[in-house]
Chains A and B, each alone.
Chain A
Amino acid sequence: MSVEKLIKEKEAYGKLRPKLLEWSKGKWVAICNGEVVVQGDEFGEVVKRAYQATGGEVFYVTKVGEEQKVERKLYRNR
């Protein structure tokens, strides 16, 4: 299932994170099959390039060093 693969890619990111903090802090990265496939300055650009690079596989995207900021979403109750 696609979400299960997404969770695995996030776990892989956790292992890569210490090195990425040295080399790619502040960059958006896309992780697929345990590796960084694309990095860049804009979320949308990274998503589009990662889709092309992976041929549509599931990949996980986050911003190195700002994970909590970009992965916390608030909306109002309606």
Chain B
Amino acid sequence: MSESSIGIDETYYPPFPWCLANIYDLPKTKNVIAKGYTDTGSDVTIATMDIDERLELHRQPVTLAEIMGIGGKPEVRALYAAVFIVKGIEVVTAVDIRDDVEEVLIGRDILHHLSLSIDWKKGTIDLKDPMIRGQRNTKVKLKGK
């Protein structure tokens, strides 16, 4: 992936790190490349309705989970199989498909397979495959830092 496969979105406050993800349905017959915001606070990756419409992820529910936002009421929801490829790492995971989010949120279910470094002071983000030695890291800097 190129330099533009990762970044920090300054339209959010505080700025929100993101990376491109190649998202597939489970049989890997369809895919979408989407910007996924790295959400270390989430146990689960969240997909949008638009992603579901394009990949038909709803065809393959794989588990039921008690989903809870901080301070919210728990809700039992089906999670659906999806394949994410981020920085060359393929992760099969179970995503929550939500109609109340507009962006893909990449949770710790995927992030824990990667090496992620964010230096908020320097405004840099670094995401790589931890198993590949000498891999060229992709770093971006926030404007003005």
B33-87 contacts to A (CB < 8 Å): 39, 41-44, 46, 58-72, 78-79, 81
Contact of A77 with B70 at beta-carbon distance under 8 Å, contacts A51-B27, A58-B61 already known: yes
B91 near A44: Cβ-Cβ < 8 Å? yes
| Contact, CB under 8 Å: B44 / A3 | no
26 A-B contact pairs sorted by A residue (CB < 8 Å): A2-B61, A6-B63, A6-B78, A10-B64, A43-B92, A47-B62, A51-B81, A58-B60, A58-B61, A61-B62, A61-B94, A70-B65, A71-B63, A72-B43, A73-B43, A73-B44, A73-B67, A73-B68, A74-B70, A75-B41, A75-B42, A75-B46, A75-B107, A76-B39, A76-B70, A77-B71
User: In whole Å, how far is B3's beta carbon from the nearest beta carbon of chain A?
Assistant: 28
Number of interface residues of A (CB under 8 A): 26
Chain B residues closer than 8 Å to A56, beta-carbon distance: 26-27, 59-60
Residues of A within 8 A of B39 (CB): 75-76
In addition to A45-B92, A58-B61, A75-B67, 17 A-B residue pairs with Cβ atoms within 8 Å of each other are: A2-B59, A3-B78, A6-B62, A10-B64, A43-B93, A47-B92, A48-B92, A51-B60, A58-B60, A60-B62, A61-B63, A72-B43, A73-B66, A75-B44, A75-B69, A76-B41, A76-B70
Q: Which of B91-110 contact A (CB under 8 A)?
A: 91-94, 96, 101, 105, 107
Q: Which of B39, B64, B71 has the most chain A CB atoms closer than 10 A to its own CB?
A: B64
Give the A-B contact count at a CB cut-off of 8 A: 92
Q: Report the separation of the CA atoms of residues A45 and B81 in the bound assembly, to the nearest whole angstrom.
A: 12
Q: Give every chain A residue within 8 A of B93 (Cβ-Cβ).
A: 43-44
Are B58 and A2 touching (Cβ within 8 A)?
Answer: yes
Say which size band chain B's interface belongs to: 20 to 34
Contact between B68 and A74 (Cβ–Cβ < 8 Å)?
Answer: yes
